Structures are given as C-alpha cells and as structure tokens.
Structure 1
Amino acid sequence: MKHLKALAIKFISSLVLLYVILGLFYGMEFRNVFLISFVLGIVAYLIGDLLILPRTNNIVATLADFGLALFFIWFMSESFTRGDNLFTVSLLAALGVTLFEYFFHKYVSNNVTREDNQERLNSSTNLRFQTEASEDLSPQRNDMKTDRNKENQSE
C-alpha cells in the first residue's frame, strides 16, 4: 500500500508539473502529457526510487532521475509531435521533475524504503559471522610463559 501511495503522489505531481510546462507553455495535448507522466512515473519509480535510492544517496538518485526524465520526455514528445525541436522544452521539464524528485526522495527514504531496508537487514539470509581468536591458536609451553613473566618482572 505504501508503494501505491508513493506512486500516486509521484504521478499526480508529475502530471501537474508536466502539464504546466508541456501543456500550457508548449501546447501539448493533455492525453500526451498524461501518457508521458504515466510512463515516466513508473520507470523513474522503479529505477530511481526503488533501485538507485536505497543503494546510494539522494544526489545520485536525483541525477539518475534527471537523465531518465530528460530522455523519456524528449523521446516521447518527439514521437507525439512533428517538426519542432523539443530538446529545450524537454530540458526545462526534466529540470522541473528533477527538483520535485529531490524532495520526493526524502519522502520515499523516510516512509517507503526505510521499513524495506530494516526487513532486509533483519532477514535470515543476511547472516553476520564473527571470528574469534584466542591463545589456543598459537600454544606456548607453560615453562616459556613463566620465563617471560620473570623477565618482565625483573625489568
């Protein structure tokens, strides 16, 4: 349920943000913005939020989401429209999505993946063994120990 809630927050925020940039400023149809938001939301959530963010930090995951957003927005908007160079608009939209993703990653790491990381640490497949060492590994004779003790006491 927590993943569905996070995915819904991401989708709605991306839809509003991309509609303002792509729809109102550029004039892209709502259904195209909806499709871009849907695909980008699912791919970025799976790759950026569930794979990269738990293994790295917020900055690395945000940069990865910037690359994903730029690629998907540019590629999909190029396939939906004809004749225009959409790289600048895609870059602005990707920067907007990246700014949102920076704050969204904090939400995900505090509310969604924290329990997943705890479960992973507590699972039985992640056993931690310790090595124990003692004097028995390099035995010495008792008479040698007493000779050393006498030398140490005489000094």
Structure 2
Amino acid sequence: MRNAIVLLAKFITCIVAFAVALDLFFDATITDILSFSLLVTIVSYVVGELMLLPRIGNWKAVAVDFLLVYASVWIFGNVVLDNYMQIAWGSIIAAFIILVAEIFVHRYLLNDAESRGRKGVHANRQSFAYGTEMAEEDNIHDLNPKKK
C-alpha cells in the first residue's frame, strides 16, 4: 500500500509539473506529458526511493532526483520537442516543482519507516563495499627468508 501511495503521488506531481513546464514553453500534447510523467515516475522511484534513499539519506536523494528529472526531461524533451535551449527552461521548472514534492514524499517514507518500528530508513543501511587495508612493514625481506 505504501508503494502505491508513493507512486501515485509521484505520478500526479509529474503530470502537474510537466503540464506547467512543457505546456508553458511548448505545444506539448497530453501524450507527451503522460509519457514523460510515466518515465520519470518509474525511474525516479527505482533509483531515488528504492536504491539511494536507504543508503545516502534524504537530502542527497532529493538532489539526485532533481538532477535525474532535469537530465531526463532535457534529453528526451530535446528529442521529442525539437528545441534545445527552451527545453532547458522547461526542464528546470519541472525539476523544481518535482523537487518540492520529493521532499514531502521522502518525509512520508521516513515517517512510515519509523512508525513500523524501524529507526528510519537508515536502520538497514547497506554500505557500499569499499575498504582499505593498511599495514606497516619495516623490512619486506624479513617476511620471506631465503632458503639455503
């Protein structure tokens, strides 16, 4: 149920953001708006909420969502709507509108995780497997004595 609420909120926000941003600068059809909304909703949910939010936290995940929306609308808008510079303004407006909504979605997810008994989304944080092993050796030749 939680996933359905989050996906519905993200999809409605994307529809509103793209209707304002793309229809303000372009003659975007409802098909363009719905296809952009569906694409951004699915990619943003998988990358932002499922992969990054549990690992890097709220504000970093919001920043990644902003960049993801901006880049996806600019790239695919350039292909579909055939205007390079104007799509930049449309994508930045849409990214700001979605940024505001993402703050509330992430707060909902964090509060829902706390109400379920976990200590936030970070309770099951899986860190990336990076590690460094260091040692101090005075003389490396002492470790491998020569056989006579």
TM-score relative to the length of structure 1: 0.68
CA distance in 2, matches of 1:64, 1:14: 16
How far the C-alpha of 1:114 sits from its partner, in A, is 6.5
How far the C-alpha of 1:20 sits from its partner, in A, is 1.6
User: Structure 1 residues 31-40 or 80-89, which shifts more?
Assistant: 80-89
CA distance in 1, matches of 2:91, 2:122: 40
Q: Please state whether the residue corresponding to 1:27 is helix, strand or coil.
A: coil
RMSD between superposed Cα atoms in Å: 2.7
Alignment correspondent of 1:104? 105
Higher relative contact order (CA 8 A, sep 6+): 2
How far the C-alpha of 1:84 sits from its partner, in A, is 4.4
Q: Where in structure 1 are there 5+ consecutive unaligned residues?
A: 124-155
How far the C-alpha of 1:27 sits from its partner, in A, is 2.7
Alignment correspondent of 2:139? none
Alignment correspondent of 1:71? 71
User: Structure 1 residues 82-91 or 68-77, which shifts more?
Assistant: 82-91
The amino acid that maps onto 1:15 is I
**CA 1:113–1:72: 2 relative to 1, 3 Å:** farther
Residue pair 1:3, 1:112 contacting (<8 A) in 2 also? no
| Identity score, percent | 27
Q: Please state whether the residue corresponding to 2:77 is helix, strand or coil.
A: helix
Alignment correspondent of 2:51? 51
Q: Please state whether the residue corresponding to 1:63 is helix, strand or coil.
A: helix
The amino acid that maps onto 2:13 is S
Runs of 4+ in 1 over 3 A off after TM superposition: 112-118, 120-123
CA distance in 1, matches of 2:21, 2:49: 23
**CA 1:69–1:83: 2 relative to 1, 3 Å:** closer
Residue pair 2:66, 2:99 contacting (<8 A) in 1 also? yes
Residue pair 1:62, 1:102 contacting (<8 A) in 2 also? yes
Residue pair 1:23, 1:30 contacting (<8 A) in 2 also? no
Alignment correspondent of 1:136? none
- Structure showing greater radius of gyration is 1
Q: Where in structure 2 are there 5+ consecutive unaligned residues?
A: 125-148
